[in-house]
Structure 1
């Protein structure tokens, strides 16, 4: 848990470029300070997992300015605001920050999106969207790359729907050190499935967490510098239901890459799905189900170091790894474990109907996906 204090301002100037088209220049200076943020917080949320993690966390905990200048362009040529059936929408944002704009972080960030619609309001509607972004960090706190607030994320009800919110792209695995890494086969406790590592092995990063069940890990998205998404959706009436209820069949694809050097189209993931839309007075209420084809991945595991504690202290647990039993607690210092853990399963390992349906992600939201 950390506390983020921020104060700033927002100033913009817009110019109309015709019907439903505008160009906007905006400036948003913001002074930010993070308090009570542990090394684990910076490693997971800021991807600052490095040997100088202490220096990085200290630097980001100090007040720092993020002051981008943004040029935005929008054009809307659709026939309806909430449920378009014809036309197209174009959006583009070019963002720049440097010492000349009063920012402690310097970067250039470009995000573009285009959507097109073809069909009849009461009949079939074919909708498509392409969205992409790229960021170039120029300078700032060494080792952190693009500022965490400006990284790209993918996955969720308005993105690639085969994934939970922000779960597509660079990911770390988090695990609680004391109960699952240190705790071994101890008949005196309710847990008997820990990794059984010593406290020294956990703190040194040599504990092998590969023997733990995948459900014990917490997926932590870290974002990236490059984003690519594509969506194709067919919206259709359902004759046996009310005119307010319509169906949809869609295919979403996308990926986020940690850096520009990592970009490879072979890494793009495709997720098909189906959905229902109820056209209410406040807009379409949407239920989507999308198949997640994600296969096994070799991911980094992060955890906190552990330290001895006295019985009765908060978060102090009695554990056993071989002999003897000790009282241990998690600390605020982070550890990257080696080796990596193979997380997830391949489609070939689906051997039951329940395994198949567990791969579907459900999303309930208001408004069209795009």
Structure 2
């Protein structure tokens, strides 16, 4: 109950005194009207006393043996069992009796109906039904005694529920009655009478002065005249306990409330003691346990500085960031008092980080299939802390029907700043698609400021460098045949993104804007600089609780060089699971005389989806469109459309996607059906 302690009821008008008793005259000693002869005369009594010696050190005289009276002859003989000595304790059988009830199969259970009266007007019937012993019995019992016992339990339940809304005079009674015309059933009735509802009277908070003044009172959303409802009172106290540590009082404690009821006025005076503790600011860090990294790197993960006013939301954020590193089996962050008072009058509070590092190595496997790309399996080995702090080595291998390769990556997470990542990658890859057959080696570096599941940022960026050597097959329109060519490419790719969606993997509202720009140069006999640009926007609009309309547009351009001077792998292509579904991977765009794609210098795309979710499953009809062009800028003509339907299975790491699509205006050589299986939404 809400008011299990500290609850005092006082009747109006003060304490009532019992009515005065009528005085009764007592008889006086020696009154001749009441004198009676003594039971033992004084002379006889004095003679019976033993003589006393004047020597106080003399020993006491021995007592004469007391003659025991001879018992009268019993009226009847005593049974011999009573005269026998008791048996030893070990001889007793201490096994408890087992209550074995043998039910007569011919006597069925009692069936009963449950009727609740008096709680509908209070809105308590639903809660009562969820906790009721009668309702929990499913309308049957072994006998009437069980039904009666359940009814008495429900009486107490009804009273507790009424008190939770301030009806402290409420009463309840349960009765059982026979249903007319039905001898096999009875009716169990619980009748509740709420009485009057008590209101809050005087509200008093017992707390030391705070800064700002009256902080505790402002955090207690209770007002005089409001009903004394358990949920409101408990919620108000929880708000005090929650917000005080966010306002510089990490050691605040809410005491036990006291409510003094006046049953005449129908009010209750409320008193809440609060120990606010010292007003505090952030100090330093200390670490204990089996460390994954030291206190200096803990400071990198914080969103506050020493001297800032204490806010436990920032402490919770630090704890979440530590967990997100994936380096701990357990980790905790607790404030510790120091007693050091700063210039602003706050006490410095240090944070104790207790670490228990966990396994740093992991193996991951993923796979997918799509028309045009075939089967693709990827496995990786990661050591997340090979170069502390948070210096990871990642080795990845790809095995597929049309792609094979391996890469090694060094990644430093939270590099000097939270959520900033420095990455260096070296890899070799073989890709064999309709558009090109390429053997590629790459060395790249990247600095990025990324969104994470803990903190999805509005603005993110990435920039770096890339050095690529690639030998690729290319169709030579001058010769009218394919040939192989080697390209050396240097690039400075960069990207910025503005994200106002509500999720990284499964957005349901908001929008995203992204711009990618990569100044590059291709060396093949001569230096040919150019720039690759790609702009993308997506939006998400919920309709009710189950449907999300999602849309995406994308446009790209390569300026500064001719298409035939570009390495085929650097050109733009349309089609595939992340582009225009219904067409094979890289199938959209200009074709050579053999019907194979050759890519272009520009691209435009759009996609529309209606994402309907029911439980952990979903259905997604979609329409895509777009194309790639030889020109520098994309055109609005010759668009290719694809439509289809997809299935979604939602997991805690993102949705699994199964899409089936067909081209609406296919060209010669385009398939009729395309299938895509992957993790995450299409966009």
Normalised by the shorter chain, which TM-score bucket?
Answer: 0.5 to 0.7
Instruction: Tell whether 2:628 aligns with 1:256.
Output: yes
In the TM superposition, what is the alpha-carbon distance from 1:237 to its structure 2 partner? 2.8
- Assess, with a 3 A threshold, how the Cα gap between structure 1 residues 153 and 121 changes in structure 2: closer, same or farther: farther
| Greater gyration radius | 2
Distance in 1 between residues matched to 2:535 and 2:438, nearest whole Å: 32
Structure 1 unmatched runs, 5+: 175-218, 297-342, 346-357
Which residue of 451, 459, 466 corresponds with 1:28? 466
Which residue of 149, 153, 164 corresponds with 2:573? 153
Distance in 1 between residues matched to 2:505 and 2:586, nearest whole Å: 24
Aligned partners of 2:446 and 2:462 also within 8 Å:
no
Report the secondary structure of 1:144's partner residue.
helix
In the TM superposition, what is the alpha-carbon distance from 1:220 to its structure 2 partner? 2.5
Following superposition of structure 1 onto structure 2, how do residues 1-370 of structure 1 map, counting pairs within 5 Å?
A: 4=439, 6-12=441-447, 19-30=457-468, 32-34=469-471, 41-43=473-475, 48-51=476-479, 57=484, 60-61=485-486, 64-98=487-521, 104-119=527-542, 122-138=545-561, 144-172=564-592, 174=594, 220-238=596-614, 243-260=615-632, 263-296=634-667, 343=668, 359-370=672-683
Aligned partners of 2:607 and 2:625 also within 8 Å:
yes
Distance in 2 between residues matched to 1:268 and 1:29, nearest whole Å: 34
For residues 192-235 of structure 1, give each alpha carbon's deviation from its aligned partner in whole angstroms, at most 9, with x where no partner exists: xxxxxxxxxxxxxxxxxxxxxxxxxxx52221111100011111
Report the secondary structure of 1:369's partner residue.
coil
- Assess, with a 3 A threshold, how the Cα gap between structure 1 residues 120 and 156 changes in structure 2: closer, same or farther: same
Distance in 2 between residues matched to 1:131 and 1:69, nearest whole Å: 21
Distance in 1 between residues matched to 2:438 and 2:577, nearest whole Å: 28
- Assess, with a 3 A threshold, how the Cα gap between structure 1 residues 367 and 15 changes in structure 2: closer, same or farther: closer
Distance in 1 between residues matched to 2:652 and 2:447, nearest whole Å: 32
Distance in 2 between residues matched to 1:99 and 1:267, nearest whole Å: 30
Aligned partners of 1:294 and 1:344 also within 8 Å:
no
- Assess, with a 3 A threshold, how the Cα gap between structure 1 residues 169 and 53 changes in structure 2: closer, same or farther: closer
Aligned partners of 2:604 and 2:635 also within 8 Å:
no
Distance in 1 between residues matched to 2:450 and 2:666, nearest whole Å: 47
Report the secondary structure of 1:291's partner residue.
strand
Distance in 1 between residues matched to 2:447 and 2:583, nearest whole Å: 35
Which structure has the higher relative contact order (CA within 8 Å, separation 6+)? 1
Report the secondary structure of 1:149's partner residue.
helix
Aligned positions, number: 242
Report the secondary structure of 1:28's partner residue.
strand
Distance in 2 between residues matched to 1:3 and 1:80, nearest whole Å: 36
Name 2:393's counterpart in structure 1. none
Structure 2 unmatched runs, 5+: 1-431
In the TM superposition, what is the alpha-carbon distance from 1:287 to its structure 2 partner? 1.6
For residues 67-99 of structure 1, give each alpha carbon's deviation from its aligned partner in whole angstroms, at most 9, with x where no partner exists: 112231112211112111011111111111248
In the TM superposition, what is the alpha-carbon distance from 1:277 to its structure 2 partner? 0.7
In the TM superposition, what is the alpha-carbon distance from 1:119 to its structure 2 partner? 0.9
Aligned partners of 2:497 and 2:515 also within 8 Å:
yes
Report the secondary structure of 1:171's partner residue.
coil
- Assess, with a 3 A threshold, how the Cα gap between structure 1 residues 7 and 250 changes in structure 2: closer, same or farther: closer
Name 1:312's counterpart in structure 2. none
Q: Please give the TM-score of this superposition, normalised by the length of structure 2.
A: 0.32
Aligned partners of 1:129 and 1:231 also within 8 Å:
yes
Distance in 2 between residues matched to 1:273 and 1:52, nearest whole Å: 37
Distance in 2 between residues matched to 1:265 and 1:248, nearest whole Å: 26
Aligned partners of 1:76 and 1:88 also within 8 Å:
yes
In the TM superposition, what is the alpha-carbon distance from 1:147 to its structure 2 partner? 2.9
For residues 100-137 of structure 1, give each alpha carbon's deviation from its aligned partner in whole angstroms, at most 9, with x where no partner exists: 9xx94411111011111111694110111011101014
